[in-house]
Amino acid sequence: MPATVSYEVTDGIAVITIDNPPVNAMSAAVRKGCWEALDRLAADDTARAAVLICAGRTFIAGADITEFDKPIVDPWLPDVVEKFEASEKPVVAAIHGTALGGGLETAMGCHYRCALPTARVGLPEVHLGLLPGATGTQRLPRLSGARKALEMMTSGRQVGAAEALESGIIEKIVEGDLRAGAIAWARELLDGGAPLKRVSQLEIHDAADMDDEFYAEYEQQLARKARGFFAPFQIVKCVRAAVNESYSDAFRTERRLFDECKESTHSQAQRHLFFAEREVAKIPDVPKTTPVRDINSVAVIGAGTMGGGIAMNFVNAGIPVTVLEVDQAGLERGLGVIRKNYGVAVDKGRMTEAQLEQAMGMITPTTDYAGVAGADLVIEAVFENMEIKKQVFTKLDGVCKQGAILASNTSSLDLNEIAVVTKRPGDVIGMHFFAPANIMKLLEIVRGEQTAADVIATAMATAKKIRKVGVLVGVCFGFVGNRMFFPYIREAQLMMLEGIPPERVDRVAYDWGMAMGPHAVMDLSGLDVFYKLNNEWRERPDDPVYCRMINVLTEMGRQGQKTGAGTYRYEGRKAVPDPEVMEIARREAQALGVRQIEVSDEEIIERLLYSMINEGARVLEEGIAIRPGDIDVIFVNGYGMPRYRGGPMKYADMAGIDNVLAAVEKYRARYGDLWWTPAPLLEQLARSGSSFQAWSRNR
Ligand code: 3HC
Ligand code: NAI
């Protein structure tokens, strides 16, 4: 028997222990080990029942995700689950940590389930673009009812032990020692003559009124919550089969639909992101053992749009914050916005009035730099202006205690230039939050030329503490996210001059899966923001066509939603296409000699995305991003790109780099070299039939 699964008998009860660190995934070796353990149990006269338990920090966390891209190795997980159920001797699953996916499916193959009060269970396959494919879609409805199972499986939500007990997913909570408790319970079940509870043979207790109307309504709700995703709808079909078909027929349906999911680009994309989001924390020259500095107090300089949201993150994590503004009026305005934001949470019932006051009590307002001298971490969020930033950092250098980390939230400026105004450039780092800063998950952590390793490690750890996804990037204009977003915006802007209505471009981008189209995003952030950024970009090639409409509209005072008109006109928050804007675009195009053209939806997507991907290849060549997966993590967490596309670089890999290059060359032939020269890395990968992912792995 492989060492990952052990078998021993204590007083008539066999204990089957899985020990496959870190999370006891059901790898081929574990499946084989369980199979052999069950054979041994059947033949073992000294054992009357068995307990299935795991060593280490958790019960089985699911199938081994790394095996999905490899040929299947026997025994198959569904067969292992069925073998547990077929055992003539009762098997009790003893759960600690999390029983997830194939882990919960295995537990549901057992005859009884007990768990520690702290344990959690769930079927999160949907997050990987999959469905529970080892009989989970058939078993969970039989234990919890079909409605609850639908909700759990389409959302991937985990439930705690108490909720699992209440809904019938487990039968017992064990206080204290799980192994001893589970053995004692197995003995109790034997002594009480408890029958073998075979989940596949149970009735679904709430199946009666699940008719066509119910499913249609459920799918309608899902279409809103999980727009564009594939797996949630496959899960609905599986539950429908569970309700309407025999167990064995419905299981075959589950298998077929699982395979469809597994082969889909959605699942490839979502599995890629699962690993990319874990890999992002690994920085080659900043090992895990790098010491981190304690962050027990934070100061934020500037309480505007970003500063307020940044402060809220730390308050929410229980870390007190001092907020510094130029004057009392600035402070009052800033704190007013924070209070209003917390007020929304109170209105929605997510927070009490008392908690609001407690949160506000953790913020100390000041206009005096002496007030931030003791902070462990200072985050500057003043105007995006190099001179002002330099003044602020000079002052911080003068007052802040030794060892304090001095961070800037700049979204584009040269961090190295800011760092060298201090006598401690090693302590200076970028922490680039995304608006709204209290909500968006992404945090780009910008490494300057001199930033010390422990400062990087501390910033990464801090991101985790405030529940952000921290991605380390290098210094260049716009860092990774904005630098790659500019070409996307540039193409959307050029299309306007070419006579393609913004609402069409936005619809195509939205249908592809973006949370909002490029024009709607610009109107939301403010065209003036892009206008200023474009002007700050010192190395920008001279091109009068570049983002021309941003300039024209901003100079007309059409800054976007905040002025009631930008690229769209606004009726309240509703965007209305404005014929006047297209008229202006036509005039500008004529003056600039831009041809009016007809384009397909496919071309719209290609130009938006491939321009971005080409820039992504340069970002990788220059080492601004460590890995292609890091870029993907940035775009799904900070730019509203749907997870089922995997991020721009994974999307390029799935489209085929040669196809991406061919399209880039096509646009280069039409528009010239200025913006469409292929990145050398793109050419190299296309030539060698490689992908960004393979290139990254083999480096
Ligand atoms: N397969 C392979 N590796 C896995 C894994 C899995 N199911 N789950 C986690 N890992 C790996 C991670 O990649 C990570 O590796 P690394 O250290 O090399 O980066 C390591 O285990 C630790 O994972 P985390 O950093 O995520 O550890 P946490 O303690 O933060 O979280 C967890 C633990 C809650 C178990 C979390 O890892 C998790 O959610 N795992 C995935 C659960 C899941 O999706 N299960 C369903 C799998 S699909 C399935 O079962 C299909 C079936 O229905 C047929
Ligand atoms: P903002 O204009 O809303 O706020 C800036 C605040 O800083 C104002 O309240 C101002 O009074 C204060 N301030 C100015 N000079 C100061 C000084 N010397 N000392 C103390 N306070 C001072 O600007 P916003 O949008 O919050 O941007 C701040 C920074 O965040 C900029 O660097 C910007 O590039 C960056 N950023 C902005 C994003 C956005 O979407 N708004 C997104 C990500 C980063």
CATH number at residue 109: 3.90.226.10
Q: Which atom of ligand 2 is nearest to the CA of 435?
A: 40
Query: Do 89 and 229 fall into the same domain?
Result: yes
Q: Which atom of ligand 1 is nearest to the CA of 123?
A: 46
Q: What is the pLDDT of residue 243?
A: 97
* Beta carbons of 6 and 41 less than 8 angstroms apart: no
Helices and strands (DSSP H and E) totals, the chain: 30, 19
- Cα angle for residues 509, 631, 537 (degrees, 5° grid): 80
Query: Do 394 and 527 fall into the same domain?
Result: no
What average pLDDT score do residues 42-55 get?
Answer: 98
Identify any residues that bridge with 422 across adjacent strands, giving them in sequence order.
none
Query: Do 543 and 679 fall into the same domain?
Result: no
**pLDDT tens-place string over residues 497-523:** 999 999 999 999 999 999 999 999 999
* Beta carbons of 230 and 264 less than 8 angstroms apart: yes
Does residue 273 lie within any of the structural domains?
Answer: no
Query: Do 224 and 243 fall into the same domain?
Result: yes
* Beta carbons of 89 and 48 less than 8 angstroms apart: yes
Query: Do 132 and 154 fall into the same domain?
Result: yes
Site residues for ligand 2, CB cut-off 6 Å: 301-307, 324-326, 330, 334, 381-384, 388, 392, 409-411, 433-435, 525
Tell me the best of 23, 82, 135, 697 to mutate to test the pocket of ligand 1, counting ligand atoms within 8 Å of each CB and taking the most.
Answer: 23
Does residue 680 lie within any of the structural domains?
Answer: yes
* Dist CA 36 CA 42 (whole Å): 10
Q: Is the shortest distance between the CB of 63 and ligand 1 below 6 Å?
A: yes
Cα 525 to ligand 2 centroid, rounded to whole Å = 13
Q: Which atom of ligand 2 is nearest to the CA of 392?
A: 18
Tell me the best of 64, 65, 140, 277 to mutate to test the pocket of ligand 1, counting ligand atoms within 8 Å of each CB and taking the most.
Answer: 65
Type of residue found at 460: M
Last residue of a domain, one of 420, 453, 473: 473
Distances (CA, A) of 50 to 7, 37, 168, 169, 185: 10, 10, 21, 19, 11
Does residue 293 lie within any of the structural domains?
Answer: no
**pLDDT tens-place string over residues 208-224:** 889 999 999 999 999 99
**pLDDT tens-place string over residues 350-395:** 999 999 999 999 999 999 999 999 999 999 999 988 999 999 999 9
Domains of the chain: total: 4
Distances (CA, A) of 533 to 390, 551, 629: 18, 11, 26
Query: Do 521 and 647 fall into the same domain?
Result: no
Nearest to 496 by CA among 562, 551, 542, 561: 551
**Atom 15 of ligand 2, residue of closest alpha carbon:** 382
Q: Is the pLDDT of residue 3 over 80?
A: no
**Atom 39 of ligand 1, residue of closest alpha carbon:** 61
**Is 105 noted as a catalytic residue in this protein?**
yes
Per-residue tokens: 283: 């920085």
Q: Which atom of ligand 2 is nearest to the CA of 308?
A: 26
Query: Do 222 and 319 fall into the same domain?
Result: no
Q: Is the shortest distance between the CB of 134 and ligand 1 below 6 Å?
A: yes
Give residue 2's pLDDT band: very low, low, confident or very high (50, 70, 90). Answer: low
**pLDDT tens-place string over residues 133-178:** 999 999 999 999 999 999 999 999 999 999 999 999 999 999 999 9
Cα 130 to ligand 1 centroid, rounded to whole Å = 14
Per-residue tokens: 447: 């490494």
Ligand nearest to the CA of 125: 1
What average pLDDT score do residues 399-404 get?
Answer: 98
Q: Which atom of ligand 1 is nearest to the CA of 78?
A: 54
Query: Do 371 and 486 fall into the same domain?
Result: no
Does residue 268 lie within any of the structural domains?
Answer: no
What average pLDDT score do residues 332-340 get?
Answer: 96
Which residue shows structure tokens 């924390």? 281
Contacts of 144 (CB under 8 A, 6+ apart): 152, 167, 168, 169
Residue 456, CA atoms < 13 Å, CB-side half-sphere: 24
Last residue of a domain, one of 473, 502, 526: 473
CATH of the domain at 654: 1.10.1040.50
Last residue of a domain, one of 213, 247, 263: 263
Cα 453 to ligand 2 centroid, rounded to whole Å = 27
CATH of the domain at 580: 1.10.1040.10
Query: Which residue in 67, 82, 85, 125 is the catalytic one?
Result: 125
Please state, for a pLDDT cut of 90, what percent of the chain lies above it.
96
Query: Do 109 and 216 fall into the same domain?
Result: yes
DSSP character at residue 428: E
Number of other residues whose CB lies within 10 A of the CB of residue 103:
30
* Dist CA 38 CA 106 (whole Å): 13
Angle of helix 353-361 relative to helix 328-347, nearest 10 degrees?
Answer: 150
* Beta carbons of 625 and 480 less than 8 angstroms apart: yes
Q: In terms of C-beta distances under 8 Å and separation of at least 24 residues, what long-range contacts does 2-11 make, across chains too?
A: 2/29, 2/30, 2/32, 2/33, 4/29, 4/30, 4/33, 5/29, 5/30, 5/32, 5/33, 5/34, 5/36, 5/37, 7/37, 7/40, 7/41, 9/44, 9/46, 9/47, 10/183, 11/183, 11/187
Query: Do 216 and 90 fall into the same domain?
Result: yes
Q: What is the pLDDT of residue 171?
A: 98
What average pLDDT score do residues 564-593 get?
Answer: 96
- Domain boundaries, position 657: 601-699
Q: What is the pLDDT of residue 573?
A: 85
**pLDDT tens-place string over residues 76-126:** 999 999 999 999 999 999 999 999 999 999 999 999 999 999 999 999 999
Query: Which residue in 85, 105, 277, 615 is the catalytic one?
Result: 105
* Beta carbons of 64 and 25 less than 8 angstroms apart: yes
Does residue 580 lie within any of the structural domains?
Answer: yes
Query: Do 240 and 357 fall into the same domain?
Result: no
Tell me the best of 301, 382, 522 to mutate to test the pocket of ligand 2, counting ligand atoms within 8 Å of each CB and taking the most.
Answer: 382
Does residue 400 lie within any of the structural domains?
Answer: yes
What average pLDDT score do residues 252-265 get?
Answer: 97
Q: Is the shortest distance between the CB of 407 and ligand 1 below 6 Å?
A: no
Nearest to 608 by CA among 456, 437, 494, 467: 494
Q: What is the pLDDT of residue 412?
A: 86
Does residue 584 lie within any of the structural domains?
Answer: yes
**Atom 16 of ligand 2, residue of closest alpha carbon:** 382
Q: Is the shortest distance between the CB of 23 and ligand 1 below 6 Å?
A: yes
Which residue shows structure tokens 């967490």? 637
Query: Do 326 and 420 fall into the same domain?
Result: yes
- Exposure of 322 by Cβ count < 10 A (0-12 exposed, 13-18 middle, 19+ buried)? buried
Q: Is the pLDDT of residue 10 over 70?
A: yes
Mean pLDDT across the chain: 97
